[in-house]
């Protein structure tokens, strides 16, 4: 049956609206979703023996010298809230690991003794189980490792700060809905593919400890690190592989204070109870936000550099 000419434009418009709502085959995948996170433990504690000897100066002078050499300071950013009318193209998920130990052994030196760090990094994997195959597949895997290049290790020793770097990104399916096409101009049949995914990753460390004065610190925030990825070509396998390869070893924006050890006691070599400091109890929160909408979130806005430099010495008790 042939449609009257008067109905043909209407049918075209209805088809246009319908197609604008479709999503890519690699997007909007949530069937059988399962999240798994792992804390990476070093085979051997972090080693500082290969570092060059530093000139002995006051702690404050040393910190200022390192700042001049490009100490990575990232002040906690404030992300713009996602508007309600964009929610259907946005998906978020989160994992928390708690009651972890940052160090392999107690210390007899201090609460911030950096020796015997066993923390190596963390990994987050999102699995899905497609209804057709009923076999679990990796939708997204991210692996973050503690930055252990010489400058990062000096930063850890001198300023009790550490950072994370992205060592692996394996993205196969998006949880967020990504529109396959959209209506570009009113009353036209112009389409544009929007096959890009945006990712925001936020990692937060918390710690609990008791000071030498007996003050209890419960679930104190140690820092926030952010990775903001835009225009990931999820619908183009070769372009996606190139994108992921370029991201390897990217250092996240932000830093964490070293996990404090609780004041307590330990059994010494001669089987006596001696004053000491614990293994550093901490937890990690990793949050991921996906979006298939362009410009759904503004880039992370950090405080100006001068303000950050003014605040850092006070935060580290260097004054």
Cα–Cα distance measured from residue 181 to residue 15, given in angstroms and rounded to the nearest whole number: 12
The answer to whether the CB of 98 falls within 8 A of the CB of 122 is no
pLDDT for residue 247 = 94
> How many domains does the chain divide into?
1
Q: Which domain holds residue 95?
A: 25-177+195-315
119 belongs to a structural domain: yes
Cα–Cα distance measured from residue 15 to residue 8, given in angstroms and rounded to the nearest whole number: 11
pLDDT winner (highest mean) among 12-21, 41-50, 173-182, 290-299: 41-50
Question: pLDDT, tens digit, for every residue of 145-162?
Answer: 999 999 999 999 999 999
pLDDT for residue 65 = 38
120 belongs to a structural domain: yes
140 belongs to a structural domain: yes
Note the Cα 304 to chain centre separation in Å.
22
8 belongs to a structural domain: no
319/142: higher pLDDT: 142
Cα–Cα distance measured from residue 264 to residue 64, given in angstroms and rounded to the nearest whole number: 33
Mean pLDDT to the nearest integer, 181-190: 43
9 belongs to a structural domain: no
216 belongs to a structural domain: yes
Two tokens at 100?
A: 């972890």
17 belongs to a structural domain: no
Q: Determine whether 167 is exposed, middle or buried from the number of CB atoms within 10 Å of its CB (0-12, 13-18, 19+).
A: middle
pLDDT for residue 235 = 84
Question: pLDDT, tens digit, for every residue of 273-282?
Answer: 889 999 999 9
């Amino acid at each position: 049956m042939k449609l009257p000419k008067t109905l043909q434009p209407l049918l075209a418009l209805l088809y246009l609206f319908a197609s604008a709502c479709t999503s890519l085959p690699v997007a909007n995948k949530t069937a059988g979703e399962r999240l798994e996170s792992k804390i990476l433990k070093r085979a051997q504690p972090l080693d500082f023996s290969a570092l060059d000897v530093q000139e002995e100066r006051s702690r404050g002078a040393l910190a200022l010298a390192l700042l001049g050499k490009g100490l990575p300071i990232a002040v906690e950013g404030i992300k713009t809230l996602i508007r309600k009318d964009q929610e259907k193209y946005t998906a978020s998920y989160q994992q928390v690991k708690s009651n972890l130990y940052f160090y392999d052994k107690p210390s007899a030196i201090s609460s911030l003794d950096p020796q015997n760090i066993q923390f190596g990094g963390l990994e987050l994997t999102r699995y899905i189980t497609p209804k057709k195959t009923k076999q679990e597949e990796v939708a997204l895997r991210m692996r973050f490792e503690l930055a252990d290049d010489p400058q990062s290790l000096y930063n850890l020793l001198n300023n009790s700060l550490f950072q994370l770097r992205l060592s692996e990104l394996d993205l196969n399916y998006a949880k967020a809905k990504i529109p396959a096409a959209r209506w570009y101009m009113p009353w036209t049949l112009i389409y544009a593919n929007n096959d890009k995914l945006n990712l925001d990753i936020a990692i937060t460390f918390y710690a609990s400890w008791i000071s030498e004065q007996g003050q209890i610190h419960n679930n104190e925030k140690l820092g926030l690190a952010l990775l903001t990825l835009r225009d990931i070509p999820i619908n183009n396998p070769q372009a996606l592989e190139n994108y992921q390869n370029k991201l390897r070893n990217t250092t996240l924006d932000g830093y964490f204070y070293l996990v404090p050890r609780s004041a307590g006691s330990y059994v010494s070599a001669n089987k006596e109870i001696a004053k000491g400091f614990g293994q550093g109890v901490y937890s990690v929160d990793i949050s991921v936000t996906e979006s298939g909408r362009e410009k759904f979130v503004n880039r992370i806005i950090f405080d100006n550099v001068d303000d950050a430099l003014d605040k850092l010495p006070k935060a580290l008790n260097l004054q």
